Amino acid sequence: MATRLVTILDGWLAHDWTDQEAQQHAAAFADVDVPTPTPKPVVNKYELCEQGGFQITVEADKWFILSGRKQLTLWKTKGDDIRGDSLPLDQLDRLCGWLAKNWDAVAYGKHPRPKSLRDRRGVSACLAYKYAFSEANPDARGDLEAWWQRHAFRAADPELPNIFLERQGDEVVFSWDDSPSEEKLFLIFPGMQSTDARFAIPALRQLVASRFGSVKVEPKFKKRMTEPDSEEGFRAARSTIENVTDQWLVDRHFGSEDARDLARTGTALHPVVGLLRSAQGSTLSLDDLVAVLDRLQPNTGSRFQTLRTLAKGMDAHIDLREPWESGYHLARQVRAEFGQQETGYFDIEDIVKSMGIEVCDVSLTDPRILAVCVGSPQYGPLIAINVASPDAEDPSASGRRITLAHELCHLLFDRKRMRGFARFEGGAAESDRLIEMRANAFAVELLAPIESFKNPDGTWMSEEAAETLSASLQVSKVAISRHLRNHTRPAYEYI
């Protein structure tokens, strides 16, 4: 074929063939079979984390999951040692049907961890569930099972890898281990990846919608996936706690654009979204939410400048796999920025107010809620202490001081990734282990640096001396006990 083409070009260019002569010679080749190019295989990649941290790749007849360069779908059968690195598409279809059905939990953070799971220290849902279920009494297992049904890939298909998907704050956290299924052994290492919900939620929606040709789901679930409009956003906001209506939301200045934003990305700048989400599982009323929202003052444009200046560059030291160590490191940096020694009393109330943060008291109907923190950009930063909480009644003010330090950590380091930062502290909000463990560590290290509890020779001081010191630092014995215990805890227990 190439030779004949050269002949035609030679005749046309070198021998001055006319167009008619060239067409006559070309016609002589009309019966030549020209091989059909092999089409490139269709490959669709759904990036669920920035920089390839978690990805689902779909080909014409198979699919697989990647975390970085590591495949999470490597397996071998238990009996005849057959091996593979991908999964059949019918399993993907079942996974997508499960995602559509449980979209409220995946995209909006509904159905947070039950108490028995919140009590586990791990950030990773995979690890926390494993230990919580093995230790739970029969009454608690029902709640754990219900939560598992909404957050574990194996709830969609028992032969999938043991992967969990969970909303924590404005993050989507994937975690997994090598637990075998009934038929397969998975040749993978345990791990975890976290990503901004604004990145993951649209990609997940695109993945699920791409399979609707072969997945049967109820029309209402299909609509949620294909029409992320203001109607869907209002529905998502209403679904968090009882008695929320569209009109109540509008009266709180939550409008159509806020609703569309929530539907598209699972997040919103308006603080009511974070407050409603963190109020799940509590006995808070709408009057409680109104009491907090009424405290907010419009941001004049510079209310967050001091916080931004102090936090600049520090968040590079945050490692989600080491939340306690990250919190400790950040606290030491903040103490240094304020010229504080490695040991000694820290006047948290004065420091917080000097940074332009409004601090006030509020009485909420649920005493388990310690405080409220709002760092949404259209309002000034606010920390409201719940005076109905037992922590606030402590005459030594140790509970109040720890709470203020905890909320300061959120305002400094969590606003960047949480668009409309607003949350009740305590109860279901403890499900957000990614940020809560870090803030707990930050608070106690800021007020009671671990170096304070060492003797000059580097040994730990006696229990009696530690108790005396904790009183002078105005930090509770319980907090100090946990603080000291963390320094002997294996790192894997945090993950």
Q: What percent of the chain has pLDDT over 90?
A: 57
> Tokens 């706690």 identify what position?
241
Dump pLDDT digits (tens) for 110-152.
999 988 888 766 678 998 898 888 888 888 899 999 999 999 9
Dump pLDDT digits (tens) for 294-327.
999 998 877 888 898 898 888 777 777 788 888 9
pTM of the model: 0.86
Helix or strand run (H / E) with residue 387: none
Other residues' Cβ atoms within 10 Å of the Cβ of residue 37: 6
pLDDT band for 490, please (50, 70, 90 cuts).
very low
Predicted confidence at residue 391, as pLDDT, reads 82
pLDDT band for 492, please (50, 70, 90 cuts).
very low
Residue with the larger pLDDT of the pair 354 and 51: 354
Checking if the pLDDT of 414 tops 80, the result is yes
Residue with the larger pLDDT of the pair 491 and 237: 237
Predicted confidence at residue 238, as pLDDT, reads 94
Predicted confidence at residue 493, as pLDDT, reads 45
**How many Å is the Cα radius of gyration of the chain?**
29
Please give the Cα distance from 411 to 376 (Å, whole number): 10
Predicted confidence at residue 296, as pLDDT, reads 94
Average pLDDT over residues 456-481: 83
Predicted confidence at residue 352, as pLDDT, reads 95
Average pLDDT over residues 339-354: 87
Q: Which two tokens stand for residue 324?
A: 């306690």
pLDDT band for 16, please (50, 70, 90 cuts).
low
pLDDT band for 340, please (50, 70, 90 cuts).
confident
Checking if the pLDDT of 4 tops 60, the result is no
DSSP state at residue 197: H
Average pLDDT over residues 353-374: 94
User: Residue 346 CA to chain centroid, in angstroms?
Assistant: 31
Please give the Cα distance from 400 to 202 (Å, whole number): 40
> What's the one-letter identity of residue 207?
L
DSSP state at residue 119: T
pLDDT band for 7, please (50, 70, 90 cuts).
low
Checking if the pLDDT of 34 tops 60, the result is no
Dump pLDDT digits (tens) for 230-267.
999 999 999 988 899 999 999 999 999 999 999 999 99
Q: Which two tokens stand for residue 51?
A: 């920089």
What are the φ/ψ torsions at residue 293 (nearest 5 degrees)? Answer: -60, -35
Residue 56: beta bridge partners? 46, 65
pLDDT, the chain, mean? 87
From first CA to last CA, the distance across the chain in angstroms is 63
Checking if the pLDDT of 355 tops 80, the result is yes
Q: What percent of the chain has pLDDT over 70?
A: 88
Predicted confidence at residue 117, as pLDDT, reads 86
Checking if the pLDDT of 29 tops 80, the result is no
